[in-house]
Amino acid sequence: MPEQPTAPETQALFLALNKALPQTQCTRCGYPDCASYAQAMAEGQAPINQCPPGGQAGIERLAAISGQSVLPLNPEHGTEGPRHVAIIDEAWCIGCTLCIKACPTDAILGANKLMHTVIEPWCTGCELCIPVCPVDCIAMENVTGTNTGWAAWSAEQADTARERYTSRQQRLVREEAAHQKQLQAKAEHKLADLAAHTKGTDQAPEMDRKRAIIEAALAKAKARQTGV
């Protein structure tokens, strides 16, 4: 029986496998992002043939890194094809921002009730913006002709996509922390002056009820912040 890789060996394998993925963050592999798929492969929990954007050339790269045999692309995860970028029909865009929230690399520019547009060099062609658009104003345009897989995608583009995805994830964490801080401050303000926020003639029971709810919410918020 072969020896199980050590934690440092698994980490090194993960880094190498992740770098060999195109970083489209399309989730077609069945994992939430490229890094999660790379981690699963490094731990022996996923085969190397689940990445359509990387295509057969990508599978060969993963096989060389992992020491596994080359496999054909699993059709359950899609087919290899040319690279596409999203195009928004700005005449039909209603500015709902749903595509902005779905884009893993922040490649869509716009604001609520304002026209959106795609920044083409940052678009990975993941297609995650397509299903969330309520007016079907997003289409995918072939930008590599007959070139597919890694012939349609460069290492530099993959690095950019990975960096933008990482930056977006970090931004979302910061925004969520700021949001939770605002909610906590609002709850503490209400707790400090429950009488002003309680209506009715018999305020004591209602104030006790609200105090218990707010204190429980504050305790959960503080536990999340401390990781308890």
> Domain for residue 152, yes or no?
no
> Do 210 and 198 contact (CB within 8 A), yes or no?
yes
Check whether 227 has a pLDDT greater than 90: no
Among 77, 111, 126, which residue terminates a domain? Answer: 77
Domain that holds residue 29: 7-77
**Same domain membership, residue 67 and residue 88:** no
- Summarised one tens digit per residue, pLDDT across range 77-88 is 999 999 999 999
CA distance 109 to 99: 10
CATH of the domain at 21: 1.10.15.40
Q: Dump pLDDT digits (tens) for 82-123.
A: 999 999 998 999 999 999 999 999 999 999 988 999 999 999
Number of C-beta neighbours around residue 82 at 10 A: 16
More confidently predicted of 152 and 9:
152
Q: Has residue 164 been placed in a domain?
A: no
Amino acid in position 140: M
Residues 67, 14 share a domain:
yes
- Say if residue 178 is in the same domain as residue 216: yes
Structural domains in the chain (count): 3
- Give me the mean pLDDT over the 146-154 stretch: 96
List of residues 6+ apart from 60 with CB closer than 8 A: 70
Residue listed under structure tokens 């209603």? 94
Question: Among the three residues 77, 100, 134, which one is the final residue of a domain in this structure?
Answer: 77
